[in-house]
Amino acid sequence: MKKLLITVLFSISVFISFCQVKVETYKNQVGYWNQYKNEWEWDKASFNNITFTLGKTYVRCDDEANSFYSIKEDLGADNTSTYKAHGWKCIDEKSRNCIVQLLLYTEYNLSVIHVMYNNKAIRYYVYKRENLSDLD
């Protein structure tokens, strides 16, 4: 299972560099950085049906704002025993700096997309049937 997830994460990185991929989400949460606790505090999840399009130089989100993130820098992979991740430094459609990150939580079989600003973040939960495994 771990080898499969590593392969999927690597495939995502390679696949995104050559074409675009669409990923659907089913719910999201908004989080705010608590500087006193030094951690994110997440609101209750809301159900949605949002599609992310991942391209070589951009990430597009079909939310109400039609969010568009231009990739400035590839942050690479961050793999631990509990998750596999890949992130990018981006600029959004309002010229704000942010980080877009794909995470695969290995022990929960859960895939999420984070869009993180300085003190606010949005977490999108990816449909399990996709689980990013169709990207290889």
Place of tokens 């793999």: 79
Q: What is the pLDDT of residues 85-103, one digit of tens each?
A: 999 999 999 999 999 999 9
Is pLDDT of 117 > 90? yes
pLDDT-based confidence at residue 12 (cuts at 50, 70, 90) = low
Query: Checking DSSP bridges between strand 39-42 and strand 46-54, what pairing results, if any?
Result: unpaired
Predicted local distance difference test score (pLDDT) of residue 13: 53
Tell me the C-alpha distance between 110 and 48, whole Å.
17
What does the block give as tokens for 87? Answer: 């992130």
Q: Radius of gyration (Cα) for the chain, nearest Å?
A: 14
The model's pTM is 0.77
Predicted local distance difference test score (pLDDT) of residue 2: 52
